[in-house]
Amino acid sequence: MTPILETRGLNKTFGAVTAAKDLNVRINKGEIVGVIGANGAGKTTFINMVTGYLPPTSGEILMDGKAILGLAPRAITRAGLARSFQVAQLFPELTVLDNLVIALAAAESPHPSFLKPLRTKARVAKAEEILAEFKVAAYRDARVTAVPQGSRKLIDIAMAMIGNPKMLLLDEPTSGVSVDEKGDLMDTVMAAVRHHGLTVLFVEHDMDVVRRYVSRILAFYSGEIIADGPPDAVLADERVRELVTGHSDHKPAANAGAREGSSVA
Amino acid sequence: MLSFIAVLIDGTIYASWLFLVAAGLTVIYGVMRILNMAHGSFYAIGAYAAASAIGWYFSDGTGSAGMSFLLLIGCAIAAGLVVGTLVERGLLRFMYGRDEILMVIITYALLLILEDAMKLIWGVNPYFAYQPYTALGRSTIAGLKVSNYDLALIGVAVVVGLALWGWLERTNLGKILRAVIHDREVASAMGVNVRRMFFLTFIIGTTLGTLAGALTAPSISVVPGIGVEVIVLAFAVVVVGGLGSIEGAAVGALLLGLSRAMAVHFAPQFELFVIYGVMSLVLAIRPQGLFGRTLARKI
Amino acid sequence: MRLDKTELALVGLAVLLLLGGMVAPGWLIFLVTIALAKALVVQGVVMQMKAGLVSFGQGLFYCVGGYAVGMGGPFLGISAGLVLLAIGVVAAVGLAMVLGLLLTRYREIFFAMLSLAFSMILYGVLVKSQELGSTDGFNVNNWTLLGQTIAGGETATHVVFLLTVVAAAVVAFLLHRYYRSSVGMTCEAIRENEVRVEYLGLSPRWIQYANYVAAAGVSALGGGLTALAAGHVDPDMAYWTTSGEFIFIALLGGTGSVLAPFLAAIVFSLVRTYAIEFVPHAWQMILGFTLLGIVVFLPKGLWSLFTRHRPEAPVVPAAPQKTSTGGAGA
Ligand SMILES: Nc1ncnc2c1ncn2[C@@H]1O[C@H](COP(=O)(O)OP(=O)(O)OP(=O)(O)O)[C@@H](O)[C@H]1O
Ligand SMILES: [Mg+2]
């Protein structure tokens, strides 16, 4: 089966910093993949490269077997690879409704109209549906600046899903959200994901959240994928425990040789 | 051959002048991220201050050229300190942290205010301060007569450039300033008093502007509007060189100075065109200017 | 076609102005004509401000529109006023289509400086061209409207007034629709967050380009009308301080309504008429302090004075779902 997303030998350096080192990732349709790794491990850089925001130093990126390296983010979005952002990327001074309506119009056509009104009845109705689905209907007419963090993240994800993508890359959907809200937020997101039958990769620091939703984990450390496999196996991996999840038994790194399925070839 | 040398000499003189005019602008932008539209007005204030002082000094028919140079520089520094302090304390410090483009508009407002303030102080009739210029006489280089004052300007530009460079690269204060330039937040977190650095930078930048004006005063007639003309030239220089870079300003000034001299000698109708033409060309090839850095937005 | 409040106001104001034109003194008609024509140039500035760009070079298109009207007669033998205006708009649009390729790569101060540079290039060319009167410019006369020669004097003033009011009303009407269209709203979205627009699958650069070109056309129309009204063009139309004046008027009015630039331009012209008479050397100073005042106290311009009473975006209610109207999707 052709993976929906595949990277081959992806590298990225920023000056002296290696943010990605020989990343070989294959993600198949229907998978829910969690990405873990400490701050600065290269998780966001991976998403940025895959979606065309940053050019990799070397390597290949394929979607459904076709090379997408070198395409602009807009082309990759239109090809069906959507993403959300670590810090929600919205239009702060516009209302939540307008944020969604703009996204809906963009999804309809890459060539927007000059004189036909943006806010049509059909788009507004659809936007209201989405607001309800993501439990943010209360903020319909509020400007984004007046919306709390958790709801902003939900709107950000909703906007990514508007274009009916094949696959969704979520960069820390719960960052900046209080601990008690995390569960509800993820439930809302995952309900929508299931409803639309999407393949998902999401970055998350909270291992409880990860364990609850994913079928597979990629563990990043210093630009490398040090473990890739089912959650239980990856979270039990010694190097992961030492370098990522922080429950290390304080064994020297050299002992961490026996690690479970390192990078998938 | 002769015209080639003429282009070289004229171009270098003009480049020195451009550098002097642009240096303060680029220093202020580099540290404070303020593209100061009012920099041309600082230049004009320096020119007016120097011209009226020179006029007064020579008014009784006597006076030595040597003293008049000290007077020029003294006036420039005094005007720079006064105006810089007034503007920074009275206006800019309340505006820090705003959008770069909004700062352009704010300093544009300042330009409008200063233009009329100068008219109210000095009137609208021209001022002349030619004595230091004529006192130095002329030299002949390869058969071309060149004013010694203009040649001295080249020296001043080199000294100012080296002093700025040395100050930024070789002194402790310079190190602190470079930290501010590199990352304001980090510098602030490391205990640098960023606001004090801003004040200091602004005073220095302003004084560089008034100095450029004072040094130019002897070779022009000082009239309303000179600052407005100069500011767009200074912009061209710093944009070509890369906003905020001293080396960039020097290279940009040379490039534009020589291009203009070439146009003046071979195609005078393109004199103004050439400066902005070169600027557009450089930006088309290197959007951040010759020495500029680009920063991608992190998402 | 249903008209909303702004569109009704537009039609009403245009009719009022035309009626007023029958009784108003010549100097006032002239003042309003020039103000409206300049307001059209300002509309071009506002179009770009809405998209997050501040053009310090809109005088370029103002000048192109004006010079096209002036040069049509002597160089092309065209005297029909409407054709001359159209030539100006087409020339500006053509120029903008070329410059836009470069300019749309820039944002913020780089866009401001580069647009300024382009207008200064035109200025530099014009002051050096003897056949166009170099710094003095030249007079624009002997044009016709629908076959009638407009000789100058009273009739000319009235004819240009009529032309300008109609043009301003039509452009404002279209702009009002444009600002609510997909492109218009996407321009605001680009100002707010370009990265997000890109990730919605749109090309911010293409939309900025379209907006830039359209703004050039609108501004050129203003320039052409100014040339007809003033009967004169000169290189100062492209000097950067002229563009600064347009920015001033744009900020004075604000971007809140398509009517704002007209209001601001008329206020500007009235104040200037008196200021130049009574305090000739303090006029710019007044402008400067006003500009600072606007930036600090009235960042959305004079227009926000009219909309102040409306509540800001509603304060967030505690219970979610309260105002939920749409059907549940999941
Ligand atoms: N645009 C950039 N320019 C320079 N360095 C960058 C850039 N983007 C990321 N980096 C560096 O690359 C490394 C990886 O960063 P990245 O943002 O991918 O980490 P991350 O795993 O997403 O971390 P976090 O959990 O904090 O979001 C870091 O050292 C970071 O400083
Ligand atoms: Mg990250």
Alpha-carbon gap, residue C104 to C107, rounded angstroms: 8
Alpha-carbon gap, residue A155 to B262, rounded angstroms: 58
Q: C237 burial class (0-12, 13-18, 19+ CB within 10 angstroms)?
A: buried
Query: Does residue A264 lie within any of the structural domains?
Result: no
Alpha-carbon gap, residue C265 to C286, rounded angstroms: 16
Query: What CA dihedral angle connects A184, A186, A190 and A191, to 10 degrees?
Result: 10
Confidence of residue A180 (pLDDT cuts 50, 70, 90): confident
Q: Which chain C residues are closer than 8 Å to A141 by Cβ?
A: 313-314, 323
* Residue appearing with tokens 């106001």: C9
Ligand nearest to the Cα of A205, by number = 1
User: Does C98 lie at the interface with B, CB-CB under 8 angstroms?
Assistant: no
Token output for C167: 């043009």
Reduce the DSSP state of residue A17 to 3 states and report it. strand
Alpha-carbon gap, residue B135 to C316, rounded angstroms: 75
Q: For chain A, what is the total number of helices (H) and then of strands (E)?
A: 9, 10
Q: Which chain C residues are closer than 8 Å to B120 by Cβ?
A: 281-282, 285
Query: Does residue A100 lie within any of the structural domains?
Result: yes
Q: Each residue of C133-145: pLDDT tens digit?
A: 788 878 887 777 7
Average pLDDT over residues A176-197: 86
Reduce the DSSP state of residue A135 to 3 states and report it. coil
Query: Does residue A263 lie within any of the structural domains?
Result: no
Alpha-carbon gap, residue A76 to A49, rounded angstroms: 11
- The parent domain of residue A138 ranges over 5-253
> How many CB atoms are located within 10 Å of the residue C196 CB?
25
User: Does C181 lie at the interface with A, CB-CB under 8 angstroms?
Assistant: yes
- Which residues make Cβ contacts (< 8 Å) with residue B72, sequence separation at least 6? B50, B53, B54, B129, B132, B214, B215, B217, B218
Eight-state DSSP code of residue B222: B
Average pLDDT of chain A to the nearest whole number: 85
Distance A15 CA to ligand 1 centre (A): 12
Q: Is the pLDDT of residue A86 over 70?
A: yes
Q: Is the pLDDT of residue A175 over 60?
A: yes
Rg (CA), chain C: 21
User: Does B240 lie at the interface with C, CB-CB under 8 angstroms?
Assistant: no
Q: Each residue of B122-133: pLDDT tens digit?
A: 988 888 888 878
Query: Does residue A43 lie within any of the structural domains?
Result: yes
Pocket test for ligand 1, best of B182, B294, B298, B299 (most atoms within 8 A of CB): B298
Distance A203 CA to ligand 1 centre (A): 13
Q: Which chain B residues are closer than 8 Å to A86 by Cβ?
A: 299
The CATH number given to whatever domain includes residue A126 is 3.40.50.300
Distance of residue C82 Cα from the nearest chain A Cα, in angstroms: 24
Confidence of residue A264 (pLDDT cuts 50, 70, 90): very low
In A47-110 the beta strands, taken as DSSP E runs, fall at 58-63, 66-67, 81-83
Q: Which of A92-106, A132-146, B172-186 is the least confident region?
A: B172-186
Query: What CA dihedral angle connects B104, B107, B108 and B110, to 10 degrees?
Result: 170
User: Does A170 lie at the interface with B, CB-CB under 8 angstroms?
Assistant: no
Chains contacting C (3 or more CB pairs within 8 Å): A, B
User: Does B232 lie at the interface with C, CB-CB under 8 angstroms?
Assistant: yes
Q: Which chain B residues are closer than 8 Å to A89 by Cβ?
A: 299
- Concatenated DSSP letters of C177-203: HHHHBHHHHHHHHHHH-HHHHHHTT--
pLDDT of amino acid A104: 94
User: Does A48 lie at the interface with B, CB-CB under 8 angstroms?
Assistant: yes
Number of domains in chain A: 1
Q: Given A92, A138, A191, which is nearest C316 (Cβ)?
A: A138
Angle at C52 between CA C49 and CA C55, to 5 degrees: 55
For chain C (330 residues), the mean pLDDT of every run of 10, in chain order, is 80 86 85 94 95 93 94 80 91 95 87 89 87 81 75 78 93 93 93 93 94 96 93 91 92 89 91 85 88 85 67 40 34
What is the count of residue pairs from B and C with beta carbons less than 8 Å apart? 116
- Which residues make Cβ contacts (< 8 Å) with residue A227, sequence separation at least 6? A217, A218, A219, A233, A234, A237, A239, A240, A259, A260, A261, A262
Domain range annotation of chain B: 20-224
Chains contacting B (3 or more CB pairs within 8 Å): A, C
pLDDT of amino acid A184: 86
pLDDT of amino acid B295: 66
Alpha-carbon gap, residue C45 to A17, rounded angstroms: 43
The reported pTM is 0.88
Q: Is residue C114 within 8 Å of residue C102, measured between CB atoms?
A: yes
Query: Does residue A73 lie within any of the structural domains?
Result: yes
Token output for C262: 């007209």
Does B105 sit within 8 Å of C251, measured CB to CB? yes
Q: Which chain A residues are closer than 8 Å to B299 by Cβ?
A: 44, 48, 53, 85-87, 89
Alpha-carbon gap, residue B23 to B12, rounded angstroms: 16
Q: Which atom number of ligand 1 is nearest to the Cα of residue A12?
A: 12
Q: Is residue A7 within 8 Å of residue A134, measured between CB atoms?
A: no
Q: Given B113, B270, B273, which is nearest C285 (Cβ)?
A: B113
Pocket test for ligand 1, best of A13, A44, A172, A244 (most atoms within 8 A of CB): A44
pLDDT of amino acid C316: 40
Distance of residue A131 Cα from the nearest chain C Cα, in angstroms: 8
Q: Is the pLDDT of residue A257 over 80?
A: no
Q: Which chain B residues are closer than 8 Å to A48 by Cβ?
A: 299
Token output for A95: 């209302």
pLDDT of amino acid C312: 44
pLDDT of amino acid C308: 56
Angle at C56 between CA C54 and CA C57, to 5 degrees: 120
Beta bridge partners of A143: A95
Query: Does residue A145 lie within any of the structural domains?
Result: yes
Eight-state DSSP code of residue A111: S
Q: Which atom number of ligand 1 is nearest to the Cα of residue A54?
A: 1
User: Does A47 lie at the interface with B, CB-CB under 8 angstroms?
Assistant: no
- Which residues place a Cβ less than 5 A from the ion ligand 2? A 44, 86
Distance A175 CA to ligand 2 centre (A): 10
User: Does C279 lie at the interface with B, CB-CB under 8 angstroms?
Assistant: no
Q: Which chain B residues are closer than 8 Å to C128 by Cβ?
A: 268-273
Distance of residue C170 Cα from the nearest chain B Cα, in angstroms: 31
Q: Is the pLDDT of residue A235 over 90?
A: no
- Which residues make Cβ contacts (< 8 Å) with residue C133, sequence separation at least 6? C234
Beta strand pairing call for B138-141 and A32-37 = unpaired
- Which residues make Cβ contacts (< 8 Å) with residue C231, sequence separation at least 6? C139, C140, C141, C152, C156
Beta bridge partners of C144: C80, C149
Residue nearest to atom 22 of ligand 1 (CA): A44
- Which of these, A5, A12, A7, A8, lies nearest to A222 by C-alpha position? A12
- Which of these, B75, B112, C193, lies nearest to A106 by C-alpha position? C193
Does A54 sit within 8 Å of B299, measured CB to CB? no
Distance of residue A210 Cα from the nearest chain C Cα, in angstroms: 22
Q: Given A118, A159, A195, which is nearest C185 (Cβ)?
A: A118
User: Does A87 lie at the interface with B, CB-CB under 8 angstroms?
Assistant: yes
pLDDT of amino acid B187: 83
pLDDT of amino acid C1: 60
Alpha-carbon gap, residue B22 to B235, rounded angstroms: 7
Rounded to 10 deg, the angle between the C81-103 and C59-71 helix axes is: 150
User: Residues, chain B, total?
Assistant: 299
pLDDT of amino acid C17: 86
Query: Does residue A94 lie within any of the structural domains?
Result: yes
Q: Which residues line ligand 1 (CB under 6 A)?
A: A 14, 17, 19, 37, 39-45, 86; B 296, 298
Confidence of residue A233 (pLDDT cuts 50, 70, 90): confident
End-to-end CA distance of chain A: 15
pLDDT of amino acid A248: 45
pLDDT per residue as tens, chain B (299 positions): 667 888 888 899 999 999 999 999 999 998 888 999 999 999 999 999 999 988 888 777 777 777 888 888 998 999 999 999 999 999 998 988 888 888 999 999 999 999 999 999 998 888 888 887 887 788 888 778 888 888 889 999 999 999 998 888 888 888 888 888 888 888 888 888 888 888 999 999 999 999 999 999 888 888 898 998 899 899 999 989 988 888 899 999 999 999 999 888 888 778 878 888 898 888 888 888 888 777 667 77
Rg (CA), chain A: 19
Percent of chain A's residues with pLDDT above 70: 92
The phi and psi torsions of A168 (rounded to 5 degrees) equal: -125, 130
Q: Which helix (H) or strand (E) holds B11?
A: helix B2-32
Query: Does residue A15 lie within any of the structural domains?
Result: yes
Q: Give the chain B residue whose CA is nearest to the CA of C121.
A: B273
